[in-house]
Amino acid sequence: MASARPLLEWKEEYSVEVKAIDDQHKEMFRMINELVGLINVVPDRDRIEPLLDGLIAYRQKHFATEEGYFKQFDFEGAEEHIEEHTRFNERLEALRSGYTDDPIGLAFELVDFLEDWLIDHILNTDRKYIECFRAHGLR
């Protein structure tokens, strides 16, 4: 029997020093961990679809938050950052539309994609706006 997949843990190094955005990132971690929990108990379509719908809705809220600050503060890296958001949206939609009757495969693919993307995005792309946001008093 395969061992259980480990949960994704929030670390302070992931903080972008803006409470609202950190809280949104933590919620995304929670949702990814919910998917991990499904993998660990053999997921079915009825359990994955609501979670996938929630992820899609939540990423819209999160991206709108960041992009609103980009516009408000005239963040010079906005265009590149928004392009990453667009690529994320395209990949998530492709996973959703490519959904077959393989909920375990979908869950694994989602978790792999989300973990890799979120950690890389926070540690590399999101860090670029910290100075701009701080200069405008956002905490």
Task: Please tell me the least confidently modeled range out of 10-19, 22-31, 35-44, 70-79.
Answer: 35-44
Please say if the pLDDT value at position 1 is more than 60. no
Please say if the pLDDT value at position 32 is more than 60. yes
In percent, the amount of the chain with pLDDT more than 70 equals: 92
List Cβ<8 Å contacts ≥24 apart for 22-28.
24/58, 24/61, 24/62, 24/65, 25/62, 25/118, 25/122, 27/58, 28/55, 28/58, 28/59, 28/62, 28/114, 28/118
- Residue ranges covered by each domain of the chain: 17-135
Give the global pTM.
0.87
* 108 band by pLDDT with thresholds 50, 70 and 90: confident
Choose from 17-26, 91-100, 110-119 the range with maximum mean pLDDT: 17-26
**Could you tell me which CATH number the domain at 17-135 has?**
1.20.120.50
Please say if the pLDDT value at position 133 is more than 60. yes
